[in-house]
Structure 1
């Protein structure tokens, strides 16, 4: 079954973190930090007709990833964590849940505090 929403994160710890919070079927892709032109082309080709969200860390590497997506995949929506947390994996579950909910991604109720 093809999921309508795709969430792109940087690392596997980010994926693990958001996976436990999200309560609807969302495909979660890991870029493992950097992403090459070929991989970006594959993502654009495969997901152009889906709701794509980018949730990157609030650091230089995350900014570079966002910049690349804004240029190559302008339809993607960017979700932002508070810069104080720096990393998605380090942000409190409730904060991540609020960010996801604001983007109309359903989350488990226990993370809404």
Structure 2
């Protein structure tokens, strides 16, 4: 297996932002190595967004956004993009709509495309 490294991206500093706890559980099932995952539980108010940015040093870390392909997910993605323009976006197929409903092998491929280490069993 070939390993990819992104210049300036410390893999231990990566942070993944998702909507809910079921998304987090599904992603943790697929990941081979631990990654800090933040749940927003929907769109964020100004104060909560500021807290997340400061508490997790998001302005100075590699941030990845993986949210549902629905109206609320798109609204959250837009909000996060405006506050964290350096964040990379990971998308699930619109046919599945939700991260939690995405088959593990599809989720593994999406994460692998952004150089996350995933369990080989999901790379079928």
- Offset of 1:42 from its aligned partner? 2.1
- Aligned counterpart for 2:37 among listed residues 28, 35, 39: 28
- Aligned counterpart for 2:103 among listed residues 85, 92, 97: 92
TM-score in terms of structure 2 length? 0.86
- Match for residue 48 of structure 1? 59
Structure 1 counterpart SS, 2:99 = coil
Give unpaired runs (5+ residues) of structure 1: none
| Kept in 1: contact 2:104–2:122 (CA 8 A) | yes
- Offset of 1:62 from its aligned partner? 0.4
Q: How many residues align?
A: 111
- Match for residue 90 of structure 2? 79
Give unpaired runs (5+ residues) of structure 2: 1-11
- Match for residue 103 of structure 1? 114
The CA RMSD measured in Å over matched residues stands at 1.0
